[in-house]
A and B are shown apart, each in its own frame.
Chain A
Amino acid sequence: MQKNIILAGVGGQGILSIAAVVDQAALKEGLNIRQAEVHGMSQRGGAVQSHLRISDREIFADLIALGNADLILSVEPLEALRYLPWLAPGGRVVTSLDPFVNMPGYPTMEEIMSELGKTERPVLVHAAELAREAGSARASNMVMLGAGAPFTGIEQGRLEEAIGALFGAKGQEVVDINIRAFRKGLQLSNI
């Protein structure tokens, strides 16, 4: 078992929480993990990405080689496109459709959809809307994790357990909202 996942988004959108959940779940599974993330300058509204690798064999490199990502999981549609050179043949793009516009020249949604459409069966998610339905717009990253979950190679129960552990300190209500958000995302991808 080996999965190479690129998590993408904008600083402050919560991709490191997604990473933390997958990491914990993978650790519980006894898998090897490497998860490279971006700290520092690029956090202030800049593009951020994390290379997440889980495997039952030894993992050498912290970075995924070009054309080797099984999944690009993005919480922002333009950011999903930024990492296409890493996508493996047959790899999947799962992205939120909520644009985060903080720079000039942001393309139109039509242009973005057309590029996303060139990838294999992209999973396109109205994450903020589903998160609000689940109880909080802030849980859209967990909606996205749910939508990406079937491609991570880790079972639902393990991921939900890890969500519980991550948000546990904030009380049961926050845990419930995030689990609901996760399941709403999962429904979209479960084929």
Chain B
Amino acid sequence: MNRQLLLGAEAVAQGALDAGISGVYAYPGTPSTEITEYIQRSKHSRESGVRSSWSTNEKTAYEAALGMSYAGKRSLVCMKHVGLNVAADPFINSAITGVNGGLVLAVADDPSMHSSQNEQDSRVYGRFAMVPVLEPASQQELYDAMFHAFDLSEAVRLPVVVRMTTRLSHSRSGIDRRTPLGQNPLKAEYAPERFVLMPHNARVQYRHLLDLQPMLEELSESSFLNETVEGGGAVGVIAFGIGCNYVMEARRDHGIDCRVLKIGQYPLPRRQVNELFDACSTVLVVEEGYPVYEELFRGYFGSAKIRGRMDGALPRAGELTTDLVAAALGVKLTGTAAVPGIVVNRPPELCKGCGHRDMFEAINLVIREHADHHVFSDIGCYTLGALPPHNAIHTCVDMGASITMAKGAADAGLRPAVSVIGDSTFAHSGMTGLLDAVNDHSPLTVIIGDNATTAMTGGQHSSASGSKLVDLCRGIGVEAEHIRIIVPLKTHLAENVAVLREEFDYDGVSVVIAQRECVESAAKKKRRAAATGQ
């Protein structure tokens, strides 16, 4: 087959399709979004009926993937690292139940926080759940690892995690494909002793998970993702996933001769690790993410033999580079040109004509009439409202937190208590918080910026917008006369200001929905219509 140029995320998607998945479940999140988008676009998946529309959040996605696996089919579930916090409950428990059809979780971490709130390392979750984790180092490895992941998942009957990071996910490379596999047949078996996690079953299942661990370690010893690159010298390197690329690059660029143990499958292959530590007097631990294994190797009392992120050989936080790894291997780097002083930052901004701009203008006019003018917000394009010229929001913590934090602040006595959230985020995890507020009669105004899409991540389908959003708020128990719809446009400013003023003054739960399509997705639709019209 011809070599194909694919992003790392797309290699995961193509690998999963070729490994015979029957469905993908996901909620968008940079840098994982492109996996599902690729499957949605793929002709192969349409023809073979691979199910691929967006889920409402990562938890619903994970559970649906588990259900598909229960029914005997292979399923893929994708999310960004913080999405796994949302899906952590089903994830951890699915290690106890185990799986039937192969279940693979592709999770994308974001070291250096290119577009995230933190740089948490999903490998910790893998250890926590005690399931196999694969960490491929290249796009080709990602593709190949998908076959391996599904086989492994079915062999040990556990979910398997494929961890990648922004750099690999958003970088292209040529991929050689294999012959695609067919899908599994439908095969649902009654196994309440595994799937009903009442304590008497769960204890047995947990014991089984513990008993599997030595075998998982054994499987890592023979994995194609773990290998030793021979070399001399007293300093050895243990390099994990993409970290190994920087080691290999530095080794070649600077003519460093050192032994390298490349790790791409966990739990760690104990024999190979022991060999490295026996052969070398110093070991540099190169991990893209938290120093998870470095900390383990050091132990509580430390070890002078080990170098890495925890002793400053490498920086404690942020993405690795070839230069950082070369320096850790003792290379004296010659200085390069500096960025000239005249180069100012160019921060991202809301698009020209974006409805969120008009929404913030109206909010600012009303909220600043109050001495306390805190605005609790959320994650989406509208988070850019924190920057000049808007300076309109004061919090952004995790998806859905705008409503619940505003509720807590209202309960504490803060007036007005205002929340700003997007339609997709409201569906993701805003609804439940609104129910809390309604049940508690917390005086709170929730402003939903309904642009009819999940814009921040590139315009994916939103689970709830338009009339569905109104119906949801109504169903949750917000009074009809306090569900207000405004159109965030300059020409409606006076009207919008009046509506907001009324609702900020109302001593109960109100929802103001600012309804206007994202201009970027409207333009995209137009381009698509023009292209198909030709």
Residues of A within 8 A of B (CB): 10-11, 19, 23-24, 27, 32-47, 51, 59-63, 65-68, 78-79, 81-82, 84-87, 102-107, 111-112, 115, 169-171
How many Å from the CB of B521 to the closest CB on chain A?
13
Contact of A27 among B174, B334, B531 (CB under 8 A): B174
Contact of A115 among B244, B245, B340, B349 (CB under 8 A): B340
Give the CA-CA distance A23 to B174 in the complex, in Å.
9
Give the CA-CA distance A166 to B316 in the complex, in Å.
42
- Cβ of B342 and Cβ of A102 under 8 Å apart? no
Q: Please report which residues of chain B, range 230-271, place their CB below 8 angstroms from some CB of chain A when the two chains form the complex.
A: 242, 244-246, 248-250, 252-253
Contact of B346 among A34, A47, A171 (CB under 8 A): A47
Closest residue of chain A to B336 (Cβ to Cβ) is A67
Contact of A45 among B174, B337, B340, B349 (CB under 8 A): B349
Q: Which 7 A-B pairs have the closest CB atoms?
A: A40-B115, A46-B348, A40-B30, A67-B336, A36-B171, A62-B171, A41-B115
Give the CA-CA distance A35 to B7 in the complex, in Å.
9
Give the CA-CA distance A157 to B342 in the complex, in Å.
39
Contact of B344 among A43, A84, A103 (CB under 8 A): A103
Give the CA-CA distance A27 to B326 in the complex, in Å.
29
- Cβ of A33 and Cβ of B343 under 8 Å apart? no
In this complex, the member of A36, A65, A84 whose beta carbon has the largest number of chain B beta carbons within 10 angstroms is A65
Residues of A within 8 A of B342 (CB): 78, 81, 107, 111-112, 115
Residues of A within 8 A of B339 (CB): 81-82, 84-85
- Cβ of A40 and Cβ of B172 under 8 Å apart? no
Give the CA-CA distance A103 to B534 in the complex, in Å.
38
- Cβ of B172 and Cβ of A107 under 8 Å apart? no
Residues of B within 8 A of A (CB): 3, 5, 30-31, 33-34, 114-115, 167-168, 170-174, 242, 244-246, 248-250, 252-253, 321-323, 326, 333-334, 336-340, 342-351, 381, 384, 456-458, 531, 534
- Cβ of A60 and Cβ of B172 under 8 Å apart? no
Closest residue of chain B to A28 (Cβ to Cβ) is B3
How many Å from the CB of B223 to the closest CB on chain A?
20
Give the CA-CA distance A36 to B350 in the complex, in Å.
24
Residues of A within 8 A of B242 (CB): 62
- Cβ of A33 and Cβ of B351 under 8 Å apart? no
- Cβ of A60 and Cβ of B252 under 8 Å apart? yes
- Cβ of B249 and Cβ of A39 under 8 Å apart? no
Q: Does more than half of chain B's interface fall in helix, strand or loop, or is it mixed?
A: loop
With A39-B458, A47-B346 known, 10 other A-B pairs at CB within 8 A are A43-B348, A45-B348, A60-B249, A62-B242, A65-B253, A65-B322, A65-B326, A68-B253, A86-B336, A87-B337
- Cβ of A23 and Cβ of B343 under 8 Å apart? no
How many Å from the CB of A146 to the closest CB on chain B?
22
- What would be 27 A-B contacts, judged by CB atoms less than 8 Å apart? A33-B173, A35-B171, A36-B172, A37-B171, A38-B170, A39-B170, A40-B31, A40-B115, A41-B115, A44-B351, A46-B348, A60-B244, A60-B248, A60-B252, A61-B321, A63-B322, A65-B249, A66-B323, A78-B342, A84-B337, A85-B336, A103-B345, A107-B342, A107-B343, A112-B342, A115-B340, A115-B342
In this complex, the member of A66, A78, A171 whose beta carbon has the largest number of chain B beta carbons within 10 angstroms is A66
How many Å from the CB of A14 to the closest CB on chain B?
14
Closest residue of chain B to A169 (Cβ to Cβ) is B531
- Cβ of B173 and Cβ of A84 under 8 Å apart? no
Give the CA-CA distance A86 to B336 in the complex, in Å.
7
- Cβ of A32 and Cβ of B174 under 8 Å apart? yes
Using known A-B contacts A23-B5, A78-B343, determine if residue A85 contacts B338 with beta carbons closer than 8 Å.
yes
- Cβ of A42 and Cβ of B348 under 8 Å apart? yes
Give the CA-CA distance A82 to B338 in the complex, in Å.
9
- Cβ of A105 and Cβ of B344 under 8 Å apart? yes
Contact of A39 among B31, B168, B326, B350 (CB under 8 A): B31
Give the CA-CA distance A35 to B347 in the complex, in Å.
23
Residues of B within 8 A of A51 (CB): 171
Give the CA-CA distance A10 to B347 in the complex, in Å.
10
- Cβ of B167 and Cβ of A37 under 8 Å apart? no
- Cβ of B171 and Cβ of A34 under 8 Å apart? yes
How many Å from the CB of A18 to the closest CB on chain B?
13
In this complex, the member of B114, B172, B381, B458 whose beta carbon has the largest number of chain A beta carbons within 10 angstroms is B172
- Cβ of A66 and Cβ of B171 under 8 Å apart? no
Residues of B within 8 A of A106 (CB): 344
Residues of B within 8 A of A34 (CB): 171-173
How many Å from the CB of A86 to the closest CB on chain B?
7
Contact of A87 among B336, B456, B457 (CB under 8 A): B336
- Cβ of B346 and Cβ of A102 under 8 Å apart? yes
Give the CA-CA distance A41 to B381 in the complex, in Å.
8
Residues of B within 8 A of A105 (CB): 344
Closest residue of chain A to B80 (Cβ to Cβ) is A40
Give the CA-CA distance A105 to B172 in the complex, in Å.
35
Residues of B within 8 A of A24 (CB): 5
Closest residue of chain A to B248 (Cβ to Cβ) is A60
Give the CA-CA distance A44 to B354 in the complex, in Å.
11
Using known A-B contacts A85-B336, A106-B344, determine if residue A40 contacts B114 with beta carbons closer than 8 Å.
yes
Closest residue of chain B to A106 (Cβ to Cβ) is B344
Residues of A within 8 A of B248 (CB): 60-61
Give the CA-CA distance A46 to B350 in the complex, in Å.
10
Closest residue of chain B to A51 (Cβ to Cβ) is B171
Residues of A within 8 A of B172 (CB): 19, 23, 33-37
Give the CA-CA distance A87 to B245 in the complex, in Å.
21
Using known A-B contacts A41-B30, A44-B384, determine if residue A66 contacts B114 with beta carbons closer than 8 Å.
no
How many Å from the CB of B350 to the closest CB on chain A?
7
Closest residue of chain B to A85 (Cβ to Cβ) is B336
Give the CA-CA distance A92 to B534 in the complex, in Å.
41
How many Å from the CB of A45 to the closest CB on chain B?
5
- Cβ of A46 and Cβ of B336 under 8 Å apart? no
In this complex, the member of B337, B339, B345 whose beta carbon has the largest number of chain A beta carbons within 10 angstroms is B337
How many Å from the CB of B311 to the closest CB on chain A?
23
